[in-house]
Structure 1
Amino acid sequence: MHNKHNCSNNNNRYFYSLWRNRYIRDCIRNNVCSDTFIDATIEYLNNNHRFLSLFSYNEKVEYNIIIHVKIKNRDDVIEYVNNKHRDLIDRISIVNGVDVTIDNDQQQQQQQQQPSRVIRYDCDLFHQGLQSLSFPNQKHMVGSGKLPDSIRKLTISEAVDKNINNPLVDMILAELPSQLERLSLPRGLNINVPTCKLPNTLKDFRFRGTYENLKPFVVPPNKVFDCTIDVKSDQDLQWLTQHTWVNQAIFKTEFDATRVLPSHLTSIKIDFLDGRLEKGILPSSLTSLYIFDYDEPLEVGVLPPGLLELDLPDYDHPLEQGHLPDSLTELDLGSYNQPLEPFVLPNNLTRLTMYSFNQECFQANTLPHSLSYLQLWSFKGSFEHVGSLDNPLYNCYMPQLIVDTLHESVATLLQNVTTIKITTNQIGNNVYLKDTAIQDLVIVYRSDRYNLYPGFLPSTLQKLDIIGLDIKMDNLIPQSCIYLKTDIVDLNSKLIPLSVQITKYE
């Protein structure tokens, strides 16, 4: 007992000696709070400013700690402007129709009574230290002042009205914040300033428009952004060839398949292609390709070797080895209904969509084990020769299987998968998931309601989310389960283990 007591005292002494070191204490706090988003109100700031003020501006930038406030009305504007703790706010988002001004009640009443009310922004009201600002592009917006240079992210979102003139946005684009890193503009925005100089600090710029929309931008040397040009004429294409900072193109008119495309493009979408693709037409830099209404046979070497995403919704010719590059990770063949030969699909494929595919089964070595998204809306057949998919690595997207009819062989396909969402129209005979490794399961059943039966659910299940399925027997849900979300209206809770937290769809 004496040794244990000494050990405890020593541990406490070590802890407090470390905690007194401000640098170590700050590092611990910052790492614990890293990637934290705090959706705050002015009242929350008032109640918690002592804790929130412990983070410096640079610490919040480095560790992605964000304190966000949404401004929904005039009262929110007044509270924000007059609040002595507003310097703690990192991100502000403003909803439709809000004036960011300080008027007396009489001025405000007069403004609201105008038939076409002008929305006003006094940019000087935003505090220095604000990192992010977002607001919608609206009619009748005017502005004054200047946005703080501390803003690193500016988002002007798309509203219902398209292609409107916006004096406020023109004013902001004429003099962007000097530390801006991310800029997002609404599609087709009319820009009525001769030039818009993008700062050297800009890392991410997202905008889609015609060459007329894009030409005011003055871009620092060697910068390339994920901007998209709508190509409708030879003039658009000529401008695109000369301005390599725009790397995505959407061809809105018929495009000649024999015409060589600009070599710097990474993403191409073609609505109408006249002719057949040949080798050397597509740029070698291409990573994403969509061609609507294309049903000419592919040949080896036509698609560039670094292509990651391919969408050919009308393609229905037999695929052979070499037609698809090994780099491909996402493939969408909406009309494809040909037998798949072994080793035709690339080994790194993670997403595969074939709406019309309805062959009897998949042969061995036809489906890559790397798949984490498989959509086969017409398929009623077997996966028995495929084997088991790898346990897919995923970030924000849940692995999915979308299939017309769930065949009993799906248990082998999903044997090593721990998380999956299944969407189906029918459940075949003898479908048992009990011996799979699934812990987190979502099932959406799209036909008439279906009764679950013993052995259907995985024995290792922890979280279950079901739509269209009924629970009318005991012992259907394993004791390992701790969470259930369901659309069952008259659920009998006596059939559910006591350990399960039940949530219902509204």
Structure 2
Amino acid sequence: MGDILDNSTLFFKIFRNIFLKEEIFKHVKLYRKYRSNTIFKDSIKYRLFKFKEYLSTMEYSFSEHYKIPDVDTLTIGNNFWGNNKQIQSVPKRFIPSSVTNLTISKPYDERSNIDPKESLCNFIPPSVTKLNLLKYKNPLKVGDFHKTLESLSIVLYKTEKLENNCLPNGLKDLNIYGFQSVTFSTNLLPFSLTTIKVNGINLSSMDFRHLVHLKYISVETFNGDLEKGYFSEGLESLLIFVKNDFLIRVGSLPKSLKKLFISEYKKSIEQGILPDGLQSLNICGECEKDFEIGALPSSITYLDFGPYSKFLRKIKVGVLPLSLSSFHIPNYPFEIEEGLLPKEILSLTLPNNFNQIIKNSLLPNRLIHIDFGKIFNSIIPPYTLPETLKSIRFGECFNQEIYPGTLPNSIDFIVFTSGFNKPIRKDCWPKSLQDLDLGNSFESDIEPYSLPSSLKNLIINGPFNKIFEPNTLPLNLISLKLPQPYTKEIHANLPNLKHLLIGTTSHYEYFLKRDIKDYDDLELLSILKF
């Protein structure tokens, strides 16, 4: 305890020294400026660069060999390998032992002979735990990797096959990219894997039973179906971006599964296929049969039928689990029946063809966010939207009057995509509103005092070109974006405004007039260009 107090006293004595404090700030500023990724493609510029000791991430992409600073993240670029340079010609401690995250780009020249003695292991220090070889185009061999490697990204080309025991036994994360003409055997995968992502190439099967530590699987194409016993208990996430027909057998998905994503699934989801305990389900495709009550486990909180929901059969009342808190069904071709949506839903995306009149009994009464889809243009009767709503998004067609009570006072975020062009009238908008996007069609009047004083961000992207009358824009406004046609002078005094955008032109004149007494502080204002 005494040592801590002594050290604290010493620190404050040093910090109170003006010279030492300025030195500390100077080095902190230099570190913040140069710590991020810096690319060097010229040896002269690299040698003249004075702040190498502040680098933490860099790309080395020229052929000469110079000392690399003790960075954490390093990329060896294409230009390093000029004149068919071989790995064994690079000095053994060229890459510093501080590097833990390494990316190697090396173009492959079919005319050059690859020396069999060439090994990545001679070039990469054992400190590297994450290795990206997505732009390394030479074949991989046994002995290329240290046992300390934990994360690896590789590419397999059309004629390339991975050797047995090529991947280190301690590997945890593996990303494989390639071409569909390559069939990859799951037997080549080390048992230590916890995460695997396979993109482009075809898996020999989905039999991962020997990978007992696996938590996450993401694949595209594979042979066969999902059979019972293919996955060990412990798997939590399964993502299948499949382009071939397959079947999920009852009992094939482990009880530990929490997240399931399947695209273009064409079979029926029968009772017993989805495990109890599943929390998140994304599924797209043309189902053979209706969903039966009980097919979707009562543990599901997130359900998304995605862009292919137009192929769904009509969902019966009672099919959706009561546990749902987030539900998205953008292309569902049927009307939403009363009682279909569970009352616990907090976030809802309605179908793009949804145009029903809103009733109190139609929507869940605990909704926080709602997206009305593309064509919705029905009148919203006052006080029918839930009082719990925080954000609302309208599609491309909504153009109805907003009356008192149309939008509950709980809402703080509203977006009109396009189509909306009704006057903004007093006492019609939520008192808690902070963000308002009036969309691409708006050119109507905005009455004085109609926008709530809570508003901080206002966007108008349509043909709007009218003068803002006094007391139209609220004093708390921080950001204002207006369309390119806007040519009027803004006379309102907005003391909190920091961002003003008019089309592609920065409207800096407003700030010059407003802050003429505080001209030196103008650099603090963010005047952006689009």
The residue number in structure 1 matching 2:80 is: 75
Name the SS of the counterpart of 1:74 in structure 2: helix
State the Cα distance separating 1:412 from its structure 2 match.
6.6
Q: CA 1:445–1:331 in structure 2 vs 1: closer, same or farther (change >3 Å)? A: same
Quick one: distance in 2 between partners of 1:85 and 1:260?
51
Deviation string 1:6-63 (CA, Å, 9 cap, x unpaired) is xxxx9983644899xxxxxxxxx9xxx99x983244649974454569xxxxxxxxxx
Gaps of 5+ in 1: 1-9, 20-28, 54-65, 100-110, 393-398
Q: Residues 228 and 250 of structure 1 are in contact (CA less than 8 Å); yes or no, is this contact kept in structure 2? A: yes
TM-score relative to the length of structure 2: 0.62
Quick one: distance in 2 between partners of 1:84 and 1:375?
58
Q: Residues 175 and 197 of structure 1 are in contact (CA less than 8 Å); yes or no, is this contact kept in structure 2? A: no
Give 1:445's aligned amino acid.
N
Q: Residues 476 and 494 of structure 2 are in contact (CA less than 8 Å); yes or no, is this contact kept in structure 1? A: yes
State the Cα distance separating 1:366 from its structure 2 match.
0.7
The residue number in structure 1 matching 2:298 is: 305
Quick one: distance in 1 between partners of 2:395 and 2:11?
52
The residue number in structure 2 matching 1:5 is: none
One of 226, 234, 244 as aligned partner of 1:237? 226
Q: Verify: 1:153 aligned to 2:151, yes or no.
A: yes
State the Cα distance separating 1:252 from its structure 2 match.
5.0
The residue number in structure 2 matching 1:56 is: none
Q: CA 1:221–1:466 in structure 2 vs 1: closer, same or farther (change >3 Å)? A: farther
The residue number in structure 1 matching 2:122 is: 124
Q: Residues 376 and 404 of structure 1 are in contact (CA less than 8 Å); yes or no, is this contact kept in structure 2? A: no
The residue number in structure 2 matching 1:338 is: 335
Q: Verify: 1:88 aligned to 2:98, yes or no.
A: yes
TM-score relative to the length of structure 1: 0.65
Q: Verify: 1:166 aligned to 2:155, yes or no.
A: no
Q: CA 1:503–1:338 in structure 2 vs 1: closer, same or farther (change >3 Å)? A: same
Quick one: distance in 2 between partners of 1:352 and 1:221?
37
Quick one: distance in 1 between partners of 2:277 and 2:94?
51
Choose between structure 1 and 2: higher strand proportion: 1
Of the structure 1 ranges 496-505 and 451-460, higher mean CA displacement relative to structure 2 is found in 451-460
Give 1:290's aligned amino acid.
I
Name the SS of the counterpart of 1:381 in structure 2: coil
Quick one: distance in 2 between partners of 1:476 and 1:407?
29
Q: Residues 304 and 327 of structure 2 are in contact (CA less than 8 Å); yes or no, is this contact kept in structure 1? A: yes
Q: Residues 329 and 348 of structure 1 are in contact (CA less than 8 Å); yes or no, is this contact kept in structure 2? A: yes
Q: CA 1:463–1:402 in structure 2 vs 1: closer, same or farther (change >3 Å)? A: farther
Q: CA 1:490–1:243 in structure 2 vs 1: closer, same or farther (change >3 Å)? A: closer
5 Å matches for 1:51-70?
67-70=72-75
Choose between structure 1 and 2: higher helix proportion: 1
Q: Residues 262 and 283 of structure 1 are in contact (CA less than 8 Å); yes or no, is this contact kept in structure 2? A: no
Name the SS of the counterpart of 1:450 in structure 2: coil
Quick one: distance in 1 between partners of 2:186 and 2:335?
54
Q: Verify: 1:185 aligned to 2:176, yes or no.
A: yes
Q: Residues 441 and 463 of structure 2 are in contact (CA less than 8 Å); yes or no, is this contact kept in structure 1? A: no
5 Å matches for 1:264-303?
264=254, 266-267=259-260, 269=262, 271=264, 273=266, 278-286=270-278, 287-294=280-287, 298-303=291-296
**Percent identical across equivalent pairs?**
13
Q: Verify: 1:13 aligned to 2:26, yes or no.
A: no
Name the SS of the counterpart of 1:504 in structure 2: coil
State the Cα distance separating 1:293 from its structure 2 match.
3.0
State the Cα distance separating 1:446 from its structure 2 match.
7.2
Q: Verify: 1:227 aligned to 2:222, yes or no.
A: no
One of 476, 488, 492 as aligned partner of 1:472? 488
Name the SS of the counterpart of 1:377 in structure 2: coil
Quick one: distance in 1 between partners of 2:343 and 2:113?
57
Name the SS of the counterpart of 1:13 in structure 2: helix
Q: Verify: 1:481 aligned to 2:475, yes or no.
A: no
Quick one: distance in 2 between partners of 1:151 and 1:421?
48
Q: CA 1:281–1:437 in structure 2 vs 1: closer, same or farther (change >3 Å)? A: same
State the Cα distance separating 1:502 from its structure 2 match.
2.3
Q: Residues 141 and 166 of structure 1 are in contact (CA less than 8 Å); yes or no, is this contact kept in structure 2? A: no
Give 1:90's aligned amino acid.
T
Tell me the number of residue pairs that the alignment of Structure 1 and Structure 2 aligns.
435
Gaps of 5+ in 2: 1-5, 16-26, 41-45, 57-70, 443-460, 516-521
Quick one: distance in 1 between partners of 2:283 and 2:527?
43
State the Cα distance separating 1:212 from its structure 2 match.
0.6
Quick one: distance in 2 between partners of 1:389 and 1:38?
42
State the Cα distance separating 1:334 from its structure 2 match.
0.8
One of 129, 133, 138 as aligned partner of 2:131? 133
Q: CA 1:187–1:462 in structure 2 vs 1: closer, same or farther (change >3 Å)? A: farther
5 Å matches for 1:257-406?
260=250, 262-264=252-254, 266-267=259-260, 269=262, 271=264, 273=266, 278-286=270-278, 287-294=280-287, 298-307=291-300, 308-311=302-305, 312-315=309-312, 317=314, 320-321=317-318, 323-339=320-336, 341=338, 344-350=341-347, 352-361=349-358, 363=360, 366-367=363-364, 369-372=366-369, 374=371, 376-383=373-380, 384=382, 385-391=384-390, 402-405=395-398
